[in-house]
Amino acid sequence: MHDIKELISQMTLEEKASLCSGKDFWNLKGIERLGIPSIMVTDGPHGLRKKAGDSSDQIGLSDSVPATCFPTASALAATWNRELIYQVGEALGEECREEKVGVILGPGANIKRSPLCGRNFEYFSEDPYLSGEIAKSHINGVQSQGVGTSLKHYAVNNQEYRRMTIDAIVDERALREIYLAGYEIAVKESQPWTMMCAYNKVNGTYCSEHKYLMDDVLRGEWGYKGLVVTDWGAMNERVKGLTAGIELEMPGVNNGNNAMIVAAVTSGELDEAVLDQAVERILKMIFKTEKTLSEDYQYNRQSHHALARRVAGEGAVLLKNENNVLPLPKTAKIALLGQFAKTPRYQGAGSSLMNPTQLDNIYDEMTKLVGEENITFAPGYHAKQNEIDSELIREAVGTAQKADAVVVCVGLPDIFEVEGLDRGHMRLPQSHNALIEAVAKAHSKVVVVLSNGSPVEMPWANQIQAILEGYLGGQAGAGAIADILFGEVNPSGKLAETFPIKLEDNPSYHYFPGGPNTIEYRESIYVGYRYFDTAAADVLFPFGHGLSYTTFEYSDLQLSQRTLTDNETLTVTLTVKNTGDVAGKRSSNSTCVM
C-alpha cells in the first residue's frame, strides 16, 4: 500500500506540476526517487493499438503490435447483450495485461446525432440508455482485469467537422436527457478509471475548462472518483483546466503548461490544494495498475478470435428476408460478388485503426462451409474507387446468371468513414450501387451484405430479396457472416440506430455540421427515433429492427402496477414462445432478442 498523501508531501512544486501531463505520447510520468512508476496508456476501443517497440511511428498508426480486432461499437451495441460486451471487455483487459498497458482509451459513448458523423462507427447508439448500458458492461469487463478505461469523448462531441474548436449550443433538457444520460449510467455503475474530455466547446466553454461538466455534474452529482484526462491536444488554458477538474493533460509535450501551473501556485492564482488533489487522483490511478503490470500474462489468441466471431454474429442485423431466401441451402450454387468478399472492410479508420492477429474474408469462410466448387466469385468493382467499371459489372452479372442465389458484398470504403472527417452524404459508392442494381435485374434471389459503420441509403432495397447488415465486424466478422448466410447462426442483432430513407429525413439535417464557429442543436431532444416516432415519419429501418430465422408468439402481458410516481419502477412480464423451427437467441439477463 502507498501513502499517497505522504508521497505528495515529499514532492517539490515542480514535481507535482510535472505529473499533470504525460511523459510522451503514450506514457505518464513517474518520479523514480519516490518509487512512482511511469505507466502506458494506449488507444482502443475495439482492440488494442499499442505502438510496436521498435517502430519509428510515434503515434503507432502504421505499425502496432498484433491484437484481436473485435467488432466496432455500432456492431457491439446491436447485440443488446450486456454479458457478451462484458466478455469483450475482459478480453481487451487480458490483451492489455500481456502488453503491460495500464489504461485502454475507450469506450466512446457519444450520441449518434447525425448518421454523417465520421466517427459513428466508434459510438454505440442514438439512444442514451442503450449507450450507457453497453458502455458500462464494456468498462466493467476491462476493469475486472486490473486495467483502466477512458470513457470518451465527454461531452457533446457529435461531429468531426471543426471538432477542435466548434461550440455545441444545446439546451439544458437535451444536454441532460440525451447527451449526458449515457455517461451518467456508465459513471455511476462502472466508475471508469479515467474520463476523457472532448476537444469542443459546450455552450461557450471548452470541455477542458468546463467546471459545470467536469466538476459540478461529473463529480458533484454523479459521484465520479477517477481522474479526467484531455483528449490528445485538447487542453486550452492549463490553469483554468486544473481549476475545472482536468487533472491530466495528454500527450506530454514541451508547451510550457507545467511552468504555468507552478507560476499560478506561486502567485496565488491557483490554490496548491487544487494541484495536490489532481496529483492524488493521478497517483491513485497509477498505483491501481501496479499489481497487474508487475505480473506476466499471456492471452489465448484463438479463444479471443472465436469470441470476436461470436460477437460479430450477434451484432449482425438481418434487415430484410423476403420469401425466406435466407438461410441459403448448403447445396446451392452461389455467386459471390463484390471485392469486399476477398478484401474485407472490417474496422474504422483513424486512431482506432489496429493490426489484427488474423483476418478472415467471406470468400474463404463460405468455401469452408460449403466447398469451393459451390462458390463462384467476381469482384464487381474496384475496392478503393467510386467510379463504375462496366466490364466488372458485366462479368458479375454473367456470374450471377449461372447461380442459384447471389450474395453481393458492398459497403463503405475506409475513406468514406474516418476520424477527422464527416461524411458528405449517406450514399454507397456509385460502383457498389450500380453492381446491386444490375444484378437485381438479372436474378430473383439476391442477398446484399453490408460492411459499414453507420447508416446508408439503399435505393435498391425493394429490388432485392435480403439485406444483412454486417457493420464493421472485426477480424472474425467474415466467418460470422458465413455462419448466418448458411444458417449455422440464427441472426439476433437489433439496430441501435435509425436508418433514414434519405439523409434529408434526419432531424439534424438542416443544422449539421454548422460552423464555422458554432453548431446549434435545434432539434433538442428529438434525436433518432424520438423524432421519427413523434413526427410519424417513415424510415427505411427503425431503431430496434432486426429479423430472425424463426418466429415468436407473445402472451400473458402483465404490469406490476397501473400507476406510477416519479421514483417508482414498472415491471413488465410476458410469455415468449418460439413458434418456428429454429432456436432463437435469449440472453442470460432475461432480455429476449428476437
Which three cell numbers, joined as nine digits, stand for 297? Answer: 500474462
HEC string of 401-450 equals: HCCCEEEEEEECCHHHCECCECCCCCCCCHHHHHHHHHHHHHCCCEEEEE
User: What is d(CA 178, CA 131) in angstroms, rounded to the nearest whole number?
Assistant: 10
Comparing CA positions, the residue from 102, 107, 419, 50 lying closest to residue 248 is: 102
Q: Which of 231, 360, 422, 505 is catalytic?
A: 231
Residue 360 falls in the annotated catalytic set: no
User: What is d(CA 170, CA 164) in angstroms, rounded to the nearest whole number?
Assistant: 17
Cβ(326)–Cβ(500) below 8 Å? no
Q: Which residues contact 271 (CB under 8 A, 6 or more apart)?
A: 265
CA 114 from chain centre, in angstroms, equals 15
Cβ(486)–Cβ(370) below 8 Å? yes
CA distances, 23 to each of 18, 51, 75, 520 (Å) = 9, 15, 35, 37
Which three cell numbers, joined as nine digits, stand for 446? Answer: 439476391
Q: Which residues make beta-bridge pairs with 518?
A: 167
Please confirm whether the linkage preceding 516 is cis (ω < 30° from 0). Answer: yes
User: What is d(CA 252, CA 471) in angstroms, rounded to the nearest whole number?
Assistant: 35
What residue ranges in 70-132 does DSSP mark as E strands? Answer: 103-105
User: What is d(CA 228, CA 216) in angstroms, rounded to the nearest whole number?
Assistant: 13
- Cβ-count burial 65-92 (b if 16+ within 10 Å, e if not): bbbbbbbbbbbbbbbbbbebbbbbbbbb
Q: Which residues make beta-bridge pairs with 142?
A: none
Q: Which residues contact 544 (CB under 8 A, 6 or more apart)?
A: 494, 495, 529
H-assigned helices in 26-81: 73-78
Neighbour tally for 560: CB within 10 Å: 11
Comparing CA positions, the residue from 505, 454, 430, 426 lying closest to residue 317 is: 454
Cβ(496)–Cβ(125) below 8 Å? yes
Q: Which residues are catalytic?
A: 231
